[in-house]
Amino acid sequence: MPKESNEANQSNEANPANPASATCAGKHPAPPCTLVIFGAGGDLTKRLLMPSLYNLSADKLLDDGMEIIGVNHGERETSDWRDELTQSLRGFAADKAATFHTSQLNEEAWNWVVGRLEYFPGEFEEDETFARLKARLAKAKSGNIMFYLAVGARFFQPIIEHLGAAGLLEEKDGNFRRLVIEKPFGTDLASAKALNACILKFADESQVYRIDHFLGKDTVQSILAVRFANAMFEPIWRREYIDNVQITAAETIGVEGRGKFYEQTGAFRDMLPNHLFQLLGMVAMEPPNSFDAESVRDRKAEVFDAIRPLTANDVVLGQYEAGPAGPGYKEEPGVAKDSRTETYAAARVYVENWRWAGVPFYLRTGKRLTERRTEISVQLKAVPFLLFRDTPVDALTPNVFTLRIDPAHGTTFDFNVKVPGPVMQIGKVRSAFNYADFFAERANVGYETLLYDCMLGDATLFQRADSIETAWAAVDRVLHPDSPLAVHGYAAGSAGPEQSDKLLAQDGRTWRALTDTRKKD
Ligand code: BG6
């Protein structure tokens, strides 16, 4: 979180000669700790944790006493694990399409990480693994231990129970024991409650760091800065001036070989009550008293608490069929030929509090859509037309302020000006801010801040048990409807099912186009 705003502002100016300066300015190394990763052989470890550790090491934000122990089933040598991770890191660095792409790896920084990696074979559900782990950790250089569960959700409870039973979550002698887990935090309200109950049986809430990776994105963290570090937004950030807010997470990819997982999950559970609600929380929350974790999380919790529980009428689901972007979802490996799993979900959400009463938040997400774009568009109310009634102007387009999260990073503001010439005509224009024009952006996978904050014990960007449950409570009726919700087809490569347009048309509104046709951006 932006705790050191002055220093960050000064040093964040683009400095291509020293891109690291953009992130490490004013920061100090995390305290020593031993990181235990369950799921050493998994994708998350390879794709996200290792590149993040590398970046933190390059920024000199890790303590020299750090050790990294990777637990996984299957015997193998530490040297093989190190080689595998080195190879995959080099692969991501060389891949121009990867978020981690970089022309030059800092060998010293990676060697620093590699030298601390230790492979630890063990089954996640066997007592014996945890007895050996306990003995190993008794010899760790640091008594501070972070257990990162980079494993499938089915292993969460068994691992937590074993850690608890082995006494590994007990904090003593001023050392911390932290548990890091990542969504899915359950699949509905009941399962989320059960998971939280299991966690809280063995650990205190203050030891638990639930990751929603959207909060690791700088563009998401910047929402609070944009709102609260400027005079121009907050006065209009309310029902009197805002007509509606649209939150979009559109993807062009399909299920990327995860058909089996996706069949159980679907777009709604995968994205709505977690990632999109997090964006909603950042946009809708009241100003916190400070960037202190509890202040920020309390304000966000109030937003979730104020959400009117969604009903079937607020939701549209869709599934992609064969179209310009390729074959249909049912053709994907691991997907049932008669699957009813949705790959698209749209929802109308009301935050029933003083600031937002009557302002709809429209959320949508989908796979195989026409364009990749994660953004929040805040549409202002229309101004009175009366001044223009005797001019050739037919209509005035409402102003739209958009926070662009991915892949474009920045903001745009759509507004009206006079078209040059002798008659009064109105032209819609856009002014845009792009991060890259001001700051040195660099290969950052989004977990750097999360890992660092967790080591520091700053829980601001992590999910608290109560918020997880209120978010699921808001959508639980939709997840357990009296009769199954319709799943509408849409062509792969389109903007989603037409029923989604109807959801907004009912309210006299339209979605912001997914494809930008303007020349200037
Ligand atoms: C994950 C979902 O949590 O977020 C994926 O499981 C989705 O299905 C991904 O593709 C989107 O994240 P990002 O950062 O690529 O927008």
Query: Which of 44, 221, 251, 369 to mutate to test ligand 1, by most ligand atoms within 8 A of the CB atom?
Result: 251
Find the mean pLDDT for residues 269-285: 98
Find the mean pLDDT for residues 214-218: 95
Residues of the chain with CATH 3.40.50.720: 31-182
pLDDT band at 14 (very low <50, low <70, confident <90, very high): very low
Whether the predicted pLDDT of 126 surpasses 70: yes
Instruction: Please indicate whether residue 275 is annotated as part of the active site.
Output: yes
- Cβ burial of 141 (10 Å; 0-12, 13-18, 19+) is middle
Rounded CA gap, 302 and 305, in Å? Answer: 5
Find the mean pLDDT for residues 313-328: 97
Which residue's C-alpha comes closest to atom 6 of ligand 1?
270
Instruction: Please report the pLDDT score of residue 27 as a whole number.
Output: 78
Whether the predicted pLDDT of 17 surpasses 80: no
Whether the predicted pLDDT of 166 surpasses 60: yes
| 440, amino acid identity | A
Verify whether ligand 1 is closer than 6 Å to residue 467 (CB atom).
no
What proportion of the chain, given as a percentage, has pLDDT over 90? Answer: 89
pLDDT band at 97 (very low <50, low <70, confident <90, very high): confident
b or e along 242-270 (b: 16 or more beta carbons within 10 Å of the residue's beta carbon)? bbbbbbbbbbeebbeebbeebbebbbbbb
pTM of the model: 0.93
Q: What is the CATH code of the structural domain delimited by 215-505?
A: 3.30.360.10
Residues of the chain with CATH 3.30.360.10: 215-505
Rounded CA gap, 454 and 324, in Å? Answer: 43
Rounded CA gap, 277 and 360, in Å? Answer: 14
Instruction: Please report the pLDDT score of residue 453 as a whole number.
Output: 96
Verify whether ligand 1 is closer than 6 Å to residue 374 (CB atom).
yes
Helix (H) / strand (E) element for 433: namely strand 426-434
Rounded CA gap, 107 and 104, in Å? Answer: 9
Token representation of residue 1: 């979180």
pLDDT 10s digits, 226-242: 999 999 999 999 999 99
Nearest to 157 by CA among 96, 103, 198, 106: 198
Task: Work out whether strand 344-350 and strand 400-406 pair parallel, antiparallel, or are unpaired.
Answer: unpaired
Which residue's C-alpha comes closest to atom 8 of ligand 1?
270
Instruction: Please report the pLDDT score of residue 25 as a whole number.
Output: 52
Number of H helices, E strands in the chain: 17, 15
Instruction: Please report the pLDDT score of residue 384 as a whole number.
Output: 95
Which residue's C-alpha comes closest to atom 14 of ligand 1?
214
Find the mean pLDDT for residues 149-159: 96
CATH topology of domain 31-182: Rossmann fold (3.40.50)
Find the mean pLDDT for residues 188-198: 97
Token representation of residue 109: 């920084």
pLDDT band at 517 (very low <50, low <70, confident <90, very high): low
Place of tokens 């090491």: 57
Q: Please give the C-alpha separations between residue 234 and each of 225, 229, 242, 315, 460, in angstroms, as whole numbers.
A: 11, 9, 11, 29, 21
Catalytic residue (choose from 73, 101, 162, 275): 275
Task: Work out whether strand 426-434 and strand 410-418 pair parallel, antiparallel, or are unpaired.
Answer: antiparallel
Instruction: Please report the pLDDT score of residue 518 as a whole number.
Output: 55
